[in-house]
Chains A and B, each alone.
Chain A
Amino acid sequence: MNQEFAGIKKRVPSPKLVFEKSSPGRVGCNLPSITTPEVDLNQELGETRSELHLPELSELEVVRHFTNLSHINYGIETGFYPLGSCTMKYNPKINERVAGLSGFTQLHPMQPVSTYPGAIEVMVQVQEFLAELTGFDAISLQPVAGAHGEMTCLMLMKAYHAAKGQGSRRIILVPDSAHGTNPASAARCGYEVKAVPTDANGNSDVAALKGILDGLGSEIAGLMLTNPSTLGLFETQIEEICQLIHNIGGLVFCDGANMNAMVGTTRPGDHGFDCMHLNLHKTFSTPHGGGGPGCGAIGVKQELVPFLPSPIVCRNSNGMAQLDFERPESIGRVSPYFGQFLMEVRALAYLLSYGKEHIHLISECAVLNANYVQEKLKKVLPPAFDRPCTHECVLTAEKYKKEFGVRALDISKRLIDYGFHPPTNYFPLIVPEAMMIEPTETECKETLDKFCEALILICEEASVQPDLLHQAPTSQIVGRLDETLAVKQLNVRWKPST
């Protein structure tokens, strides 16, 4: 291995579980003391519990436990995180500061509406910004994650068709390259899923689509389309596709997972889409938190506005931000309050930092970085389609599988030894040995160069020392873990020894 990349094995013992560090009687927090009279708990509650196995640690032990665990975890702040389809961009620190203001954090969602005009104003400002960026007529911030936003959009479609007496439309079209959440969300709305194939250039196969529409047009509720596609390619015939779906009375949903490629450059609302979801935790820099919170705003055209989740947040005729509960055609609530409010605060801080003047830099630099990486790697890892990519590139490692028995996953695992987080593997499903690399706009040229250099070295290793890759990573606290064993001998919680 190149010395510059040589990782040092983390030679720390397997960290103990917090339960194993417990000592009876220790306390880790200085809680408020009780000032009211004692009561008989059994009498008040009826049956009380006999045991409660929770840890007992001092405050310092608690802090050390989690600090040490953080040291064996990789985040954007640790290093480059080119996970395709996930937009792992820098999460600015000012976002965290403003989202921590007590005038936002200490608000109860059911306190009188008159007591939080500032919060409503935040929501309206986020909505206005997102509506203009995406070209939609209205935004709802109620969905709490990407998949939740997708599902909400399908619910809107369902309500729309029902209102037109076309509730019998039972099919949702989904490209074969789509995220798994698309078909899963369709199933959640009672829809049947039918796949649309991809053509030889990596676009949705318009001829095949026409064929499907000819046969099933009146039964189709809509199409879920990711643009740019999960292949990292812009759907060049997007206007025609939307028109075809509209012609048979269907609606078109844009999966906004790849919005980062379009911010300030092109607007899905102008492409012909009727609705879309946005991942504020991807495109608009709110942190992923190790798997959430997400934040899944949706944008819709006028025809879907009556069905939006209630209440809606809007301005009245005097320009004052307010809540509107009078929504007779609304699908109802999809989450109990206003969505991920504190994430919305973060997103607003981020949007304001770019503003009108700079907002296009997001897609411009994201697309530049992805194309640069695609170009630098094309000799060792060719792109699945030889076209300019958008904010991410999908490469194939098929050659290494055929010639050396090295799979995309092996290459990825070896990247960990070189200090990088792996890209997304085996997605989209239609590309063999796929490696999907999304650098994002916040990475500098030096990082990209170093990453490409590492991948080129690894591809060399694959041909001369394939076992290095099969056994990777060797630099982490654990080597590859046995996922089959995990399923066979399910152990999903600690239990006290008896």
Chain B
Amino acid sequence: MPYTPHTEYDRTAMLSELNLSSTDELFREIPENLRVQKGSLSLPNALSEYEIEKHLFRLSRLNRSSFDLISFLGAGMYDRYIPSTVSAMISRGEFLTAYTPYQPEASQGSLQTIYEFQTMIAELFGTDLANASMYDGATSMAEAAIVAHGINGRNTIAVSDLIHPHHRQVLNTYCWAIGLKTEVVPSVNGVCKLPEVGDQFACIVVGHPNFLGNLEDLSAVREWCNASGSQMIVSTDPIACALLKPPGEFGADFVVGEGQCLGVAMGLGGPAVGLFGCKQEHIRRIPGRIVGKTKEVHGDQEGYVMTLRTREQDIRREKATSNICTNEALMALANTVYLCAVGKNGIKQVAEASLRNSRYLQSKLEAIGMKKVDSSRYFCEFAVDLGKNAAPIVDRMLERGFLAGLALGEYYPARENQLLVATTEKRNKEEIDQYVSELAAEVGR
């Protein structure tokens, strides 16, 4: 085995140092009845590197990816262009194979990139600060809700029904386990209809853009939170934040989101990366790692360390702000490289291209009588009414070479005829024209 270097000679020498004659004796403390006979497990046979590559290549070819299909599917994960610099930088062994930077002197590379990450996410979100990342957009949101409960002691989490349905399911699981209630806030015209002001709500969670791509009235949400004494949590899309007035500037206490769109492969959903920003006043309550700038003890050189460590599980144990330990550092690094590579102007271009493509798509669809369902403002994704059940259309559009979008009926039964379509900067006019004509043929327009 190439990964286990001991030769017979090494093994014998090491065993003799231990006064043992066989490796079996190393396990003498394990009761005999609990030991496995070598080679007796019912497992596949070992493969050579070439055979492994062939096996996995063949499995990969059974899938139809966004290289095979033209994608208009978004719904929280986006088919965006990943610059070649991103994969090159995150593949560097010094980053890829490092542990969490517990030894700062030997980890300044990771630590500085995290400080840069925190800066860029806080900037995009318009928040005072951001942490060093969470698992994904869903758990980031659930963690924010739990922090909100810790701030005001209230037990009900109000969550818009236009938060990603899977994210709401994760929130429900987290809340059930820790003993909190969730209350779903209904929507009208594709945006959240704020509930009556009430002192039972720890927080309200809204999407901006929401699951249907629409933009919420965040000023109204802020006013509602002021009146209710609740925390304001906004789940956002960092690409949209390149153009929009960011949620933090509307006074959101917590801004969370999925960072996959910033240079991370969709990868069937993982690894993704959770973004988490908040107001300064909450910093001692938040989950996850935070990197701060400091100086040498015996010198003037500046450097970076993980800070406010007493929030974390390895120190505070059951009183920690969260149980999170390993986060998504490598994906956060991918976000950092992405944001440096596209830069200030590139991210605006990506956002504007996505928006313009969606407006063009909307106009082409309207020309064949397929209307955007809600009249609310939106970023680059919207629900369109096909006039018939959307789910079978999605399946049939595969044969025409398209991932047509998400049929909404599964999640919102009243929207059975609606298709959620998204355009990223990867789509172009020609593809959109082709998509609309194929969709028209499929639906019979």
The answer, yes or no, to whether A335 is at the interface (CB within 8 Å) is yes
- Beyond the given A28-B83, A109-B77, please list 17 additional residue pairs across the A-B interface where CB-CB is below 8 A: A31-B425, A37-B356, A54-B340, A62-B340, A89-B3, A103-B60, A104-B56, A145-B327, A290-B110, A293-B329, A332-B173, A333-B166, A338-B268, A349-B52, A353-B47, A482-B296, A489-B294
Please name all residues of chain A whose beta carbon is closer than 8 Å to the beta carbon of B272 when the two chains form the complex: 336
A364 and B35 alpha carbons, distance in the complex (Å): 12
Q: From A80-88, A209-217, A298-306, give the one contacting chain B.
A: A80-88
* Chain B 328-386 interface residues, beta-carbon cutoff 8 Å to A: 328-331, 333, 337, 339-350, 352-353, 355-357, 359-360, 377, 379
Q: From A244-252, A399-407, A453-461, A473-481, give the one contacting chain B.
A: A473-481
A145 and B326 alpha carbons, distance in the complex (Å): 6
The answer, yes or no, to whether A348 is at the interface (CB within 8 Å) is yes
Please name all residues of chain B whose beta carbon is closer than 8 Å to the beta carbon of A39 when the two chains form the complex: 355-356, 359
Interface centre among A38, A295, A477 (most CB of B within 10 A): A477
Q: With A74-B94, A133-B43, A476-B105 known to touch, is A291 a contact of B99 (CB < 8 Å)?
A: yes
Question: Which of A74, A184, A188 makes the CB contact (< 8 A) with B107?
Answer: A74
Q: B-facing mask of A86-129, CB < 8 A → 1, else 0?
A: 10111110101110111111111111101111110110010001
Question: Which of A56, A158, A341, A494 makes the CB contact (< 8 A) with B177?
Answer: A158
The answer, yes or no, to whether A146 is at the interface (CB within 8 Å) is yes
Question: Which of B42, B170, B290 makes the CB contact (< 8 A) with A492?
Answer: B290
- Residue pair A187, B60 in contact (C-beta under 8 Å): no
Please name all residues of chain B whose beta carbon is closer than 8 Å to the beta carbon of A266 when the two chains form the complex: 27, 30, 34-36
- Residue pair A15, B112 in contact (C-beta under 8 Å): yes
Q: B-facing mask of A408-425, CB < 8 A → 1, else 0?
A: 000011001000011000
- Residue pair B57, A101 in contact (C-beta under 8 Å): yes
Q: A-facing mask of B14-28, CB < 8 A → 1, else 0?
A: 110110000100111
CB distance from A441 to the nearest CB of B (A): 5
Please name all residues of chain A whose beta carbon is closer than 8 Å to the beta carbon of B169 when the two chains form the complex: 332-333, 336
The answer, yes or no, to whether B196 is at the interface (CB within 8 Å) is no
The answer, yes or no, to whether B246 is at the interface (CB within 8 Å) is yes
The answer, yes or no, to whether B122 is at the interface (CB within 8 Å) is yes
Please name all residues of chain B whose beta carbon is closer than 8 Å to the beta carbon of A103 when the two chains form the complex: 57, 59-63, 65
Q: Which residue of B lies closest to A63 (CB)?
A: B85
- Residue pair B98, A75 in contact (C-beta under 8 Å): yes
Please name all residues of chain B whose beta carbon is closer than 8 Å to the beta carbon of A336 when the two chains form the complex: 76, 136-138, 164, 166-167, 169-170, 269, 272
A239 and B41 alpha carbons, distance in the complex (Å): 21
A14 and B293 alpha carbons, distance in the complex (Å): 12
Please name all residues of chain A whose beta carbon is closer than 8 Å to the beta carbon of B341 when the two chains form the complex: 28-29, 59, 62
Please name all residues of chain B whose beta carbon is closer than 8 Å to the beta carbon of A146 when the two chains form the complex: 325-326
A54 and B91 alpha carbons, distance in the complex (Å): 23
- Residue pair A56, B302 in contact (C-beta under 8 Å): no
CB distance from B255 to the nearest CB of A (A): 13
Interface range on chain A: under 10, 10 to 19, 20 to 34, or 35 or more? 35 or more
Please name all residues of chain B whose beta carbon is closer than 8 Å to the beta carbon of A154 when the two chains form the complex: 177
The answer, yes or no, to whether B45 is at the interface (CB within 8 Å) is yes
| CB<8 Å pairs between A and B, sample of 25 | A25-B345, A27-B345, A28-B343, A31-B353, A57-B340, A57-B343, A108-B403, A115-B69, A118-B59, A184-B313, A287-B96, A288-B98, A289-B328, A293-B271, A293-B329, A332-B170, A335-B135, A355-B43, A356-B41, A364-B23, A365-B4, A422-B103, A479-B297, A486-B292, A486-B294
Please name all residues of chain B whose beta carbon is closer than 8 Å to the beta carbon of A184 when the two chains form the complex: 313, 316-318, 320, 322-323
The answer, yes or no, to whether A442 is at the interface (CB within 8 Å) is yes
A73 and B429 alpha carbons, distance in the complex (Å): 44
- Residue pair A17, B266 in contact (C-beta under 8 Å): no
CB distance from B219 to the nearest CB of A (A): 9
Please name all residues of chain B whose beta carbon is closer than 8 Å to the beta carbon of A94 when the two chains form the complex: 49, 52-53
Nearest 5 A/B pairs, CB to CB:
A337-B269, A355-B46, A289-B330, A103-B60, A73-B109
The answer, yes or no, to whether A382 is at the interface (CB within 8 Å) is no
- Residue pair A478, B101 in contact (C-beta under 8 Å): no
- Residue pair A290, B266 in contact (C-beta under 8 Å): no
- Residue pair A49, B243 in contact (C-beta under 8 Å): yes
Question: Which of B27, B99, B345 makes the CB contact (< 8 A) with A265?
Answer: B27
CB distance from B23 to the nearest CB of A (A): 5
- Residue pair A494, B116 in contact (C-beta under 8 Å): yes
CB distance from B118 to the nearest CB of A (A): 5
A69 and B320 alpha carbons, distance in the complex (Å): 31
A443 and B43 alpha carbons, distance in the complex (Å): 26
Please name all residues of chain B whose beta carbon is closer than 8 Å to the beta carbon of A372 when the two chains form the complex: 14, 17-18
Q: A-facing mask of B65-82, CB < 8 A → 1, else 0?
A: 111010101011101010
The answer, yes or no, to whether A78 is at the interface (CB within 8 Å) is yes
Q: From B125-133, B185-193, B229-237, B435-443, give the one contacting chain A.
A: B125-133
- Residue pair B346, A31 in contact (C-beta under 8 Å): yes
- Residue pair B339, A54 in contact (C-beta under 8 Å): yes
- Residue pair A53, B345 in contact (C-beta under 8 Å): no
Q: With A39-B359, A183-B317, A365-B4 known to touch, is A375 a contact of B330 (CB < 8 Å)?
A: no
The answer, yes or no, to whether B432 is at the interface (CB within 8 Å) is yes
Please name all residues of chain B whose beta carbon is closer than 8 Å to the beta carbon of A90 when the two chains form the complex: 3
- Residue pair A74, B98 in contact (C-beta under 8 Å): yes
The answer, yes or no, to whether B412 is at the interface (CB within 8 Å) is no
* Chain B 269-283 interface residues, beta-carbon cutoff 8 Å to A: 269-272, 283
Q: From B5-13, B198-206, B220-228, give the one contacting chain A.
A: B5-13
Q: With A110-B406, A343-B270, A368-B6 known to touch, is A491 a contact of B137 (CB < 8 Å)?
A: no
CB distance from B340 to the nearest CB of A (A): 5
Interface size on B, residues (CB 8 A): 204
Question: Which of A41, A83, A121 makes the CB contact (< 8 A) with B99?
Answer: A83
A342 and B425 alpha carbons, distance in the complex (Å): 24
A34 and B330 alpha carbons, distance in the complex (Å): 30
Question: Which of A34, A155, A421 makes the CB contact (< 8 A) with B356?
Answer: A34
Interface centre among B292, B299, B379 (most CB of A within 10 A): B292
Q: B-facing mask of A136-158, CB < 8 A → 1, else 0?
A: 00000000111110110011001
The answer, yes or no, to whether B419 is at the interface (CB within 8 Å) is no
Q: With A34-B353, A44-B359, A103-B60 known to touch, is A75 a contact of B1 (CB < 8 Å)?
A: no
* Chain A 1-42 interface residues, beta-carbon cutoff 8 Å to B: 14-15, 17-19, 22, 25-29, 31-32, 34-39, 41
- Residue pair A112, B100 in contact (C-beta under 8 Å): no
The answer, yes or no, to whether A207 is at the interface (CB within 8 Å) is no
A26 and B63 alpha carbons, distance in the complex (Å): 39
The answer, yes or no, to whether A386 is at the interface (CB within 8 Å) is no
Q: B-facing mask of A42-64, CB < 8 A → 1, else 0?
A: 00111111101111110100110
Please name all residues of chain B whose beta carbon is closer than 8 Å to the beta carbon of A354 when the two chains form the complex: 1, 46
The answer, yes or no, to whether B184 is at the interface (CB within 8 Å) is no
- Residue pair B101, A480 in contact (C-beta under 8 Å): no
- Residue pair A480, B296 in contact (C-beta under 8 Å): yes
Please name all residues of chain A whose beta carbon is closer than 8 Å to the beta carbon of B31 when the two chains form the complex: 236, 239
- Residue pair B94, A353 in contact (C-beta under 8 Å): no
- Residue pair B60, A102 in contact (C-beta under 8 Å): yes
Question: Which of B30, B97, B122, B137 makes the CB contact (< 8 A) with A288?
Answer: B97
A143 and B299 alpha carbons, distance in the complex (Å): 43
Question: Which of B56, B93, B323, B337 makes the CB contact (< 8 A) with A185?
Answer: B323
A4 and B406 alpha carbons, distance in the complex (Å): 62
- Residue pair A108, B91 in contact (C-beta under 8 Å): no
A292 and B95 alpha carbons, distance in the complex (Å): 11
A108 and B348 alpha carbons, distance in the complex (Å): 24
Q: With A37-B360, A74-B107, A355-B44 known to touch, is A181 a contact of B323 (CB < 8 Å)?
A: yes
CB distance from A141 to the nearest CB of B (A): 9
A193 and B320 alpha carbons, distance in the complex (Å): 13
Question: Which of B39, B52, B79 makes the CB contact (< 8 A) with A108?
Answer: B79
- Residue pair B100, A291 in contact (C-beta under 8 Å): yes
Q: With A29-B83, A145-B135, A355-B43 known to touch, is A338 a contact of B270 (CB < 8 Å)?
A: yes
Interface centre among B265, B301, B350 (most CB of A within 10 A): B265
Question: Which of B39, B100, B350, B355 makes the CB contact (< 8 A) with A360?
Answer: B39
The answer, yes or no, to whether A358 is at the interface (CB within 8 Å) is yes
Please name all residues of chain A whose beta carbon is closer than 8 Å to the beta carbon of B52 when the two chains form the complex: 94, 98, 349, 352-353
